[in-house]
Amino acid sequence: MYQETVLNTQHYTDSLFSFSTTRPEAFRFRSGEFIMLGLKDEETGKPLLRAYSIASAAWEEELSFFSIKVPNGPLTSRLQNITAGDQIILSKKPTGTLVLDALTPAKTLYLVSTGTGIAPFASLVRDPDLYERFERIVLTHSCRTVAELDYGKALVQDLYSNEFLGELAQQQLIHYTSTTREPSQRNGRITDLIESGQVFADLGLPPLSPENDRVMICGSKAMLNDTKALCEAAGMVEGSLSKPGDFVIERAFVD
């Protein structure tokens, strides 16, 4: 395990926050992967860990993460109180299914996320290779309230103004948001918006097809299952690193 230092934290709502840490010099990962992260248990002294997607780009000098706050959670009840200078434990072996090599080539890539499921996509949309592999990237983010969308909005705005990737992102990246419990510019579960065809009507794009589209999915268990069913109904095949396909799902956070 690595022991790294917290550099900063930012709280978005009563249930969401982000933080960044120093990055071990020898640590390497692929955009979209996750690691085990946590704190030492105060009673036993043993590591208390859970899986976290790496939200920073693979080329950045820091590591960043996006987390929920669970009042009685063994880890997050403590993790939400970290401040700059605190120590965090990180595993040395990143892994995960949301990597570009698990997909076959296509024109459009849909990154479908709910809540903190946007975290691996925060890394992917800052990967130059993404813009070489796909002509268009649609980053969808559905949350309960408008405030919970702030992390993704800041991510995209920062990317649009990035010195190196800004021009590519402005031309190829589309940010598509919705809320489920509070009125906003667009309301509804992302799966309902896909099934009804509203997503495609809003974007002026054709429905999902294995010929033109690829999909990455990260979020709640219900959303994963429903989006998988929609992909399969469109004739798409689930992929993996050993056998790349049309869509991939990250199940590490819900199993």
Residues in the chain: 255
**Three-state DSSP class for residue 16:** strand
Percentage of residues in the chain having pLDDT higher than 70: 99
The answer to whether domain 2-90 and domain 100-249 are alike in fold is: no
CB 49 within 8 A of CB 91: yes
Strand partners for 159: none
The whole-number pLDDT of residue 73 equals 86
Q: Where are the alpha helices (DSSP H) in 101-239?
A: 119-124, 128-133, 150-160, 166-172, 190-196, 198-203, 221-233
Q: Amino acid identity, residue 164? A: F
Confidence of residue 213 (pLDDT cuts 50, 70, 90): very high
Exposed, middle or buried: residue 12 (CB in 10 Å: 0-12, 13-18, 19+)?
Answer: middle
Quick: pLDDT tens for 22-73: 999 999 999 999 999 999 987 788 899 999 999 999 999 999 999 999 888 8
The whole-number pLDDT of residue 43 equals 79
Answer whether residue 255 shows pLDDT above 70.
Answer: no
The whole-number pLDDT of residue 71 equals 85
Answer whether residue 218 shows pLDDT above 60.
Answer: yes
3-state helix vs strand vs coil in the chain, percent to 5 = 25, 30, 40
CB 33 within 8 A of CB 94: yes
Alpha-carbon distances, residue 3 vs 23, 33, 91, 131, 217 (angstroms):
10, 19, 9, 34, 30
The whole-number pLDDT of residue 97 equals 96
The domain ranges of the chain are: 2-90, 100-249
The whole-number pLDDT of residue 67 equals 96
The whole-number pLDDT of residue 45 equals 82
Q: Which of 30, 141, 109, 95 is nearest to 250 (CA)?
A: 95
Quick: pLDDT tens for 156-199: 999 999 999 999 999 999 999 999 999 999 999 999 999 999 99
Q: Any idea what DSSP says for residue 208?
A: P
Q: Rounded to an integer, what distance in angstroms lies between the CA atom of residue 44 and that of residue 46?
A: 5
The whole-number pLDDT of residue 72 equals 86
Strand partners for 215: 110, 247
Quick: pLDDT tens for 67-91: 999 888 889 999 999 999 999 999 9
Q: Which fold has domain 2-90?
A: Elongation Factor Tu (Ef-tu); domain 3 (2.40.30)
Phi, psi of 187 (to 5 degrees): -115, 150
Exposed, middle or buried: residue 242 (CB in 10 Å: 0-12, 13-18, 19+)?
Answer: exposed
Quick: pLDDT tens for 135-159: 999 999 999 999 999 999 999 999 9
**Three-state DSSP class for residue 44:** coil
* C-alpha neighbours within 13 Å on the C-beta side of residue 215: 26
Quick: pLDDT tens for 101-110: 999 999 999 9
Q: How many CB atoms lie within 10 A of CB 204?
A: 6
Q: Under CATH, to which class is 100-249 assigned?
A: alpha beta
Exposed, middle or buried: residue 98 (CB in 10 Å: 0-12, 13-18, 19+)?
Answer: buried
Give the tokens for residue 58: 């693979």
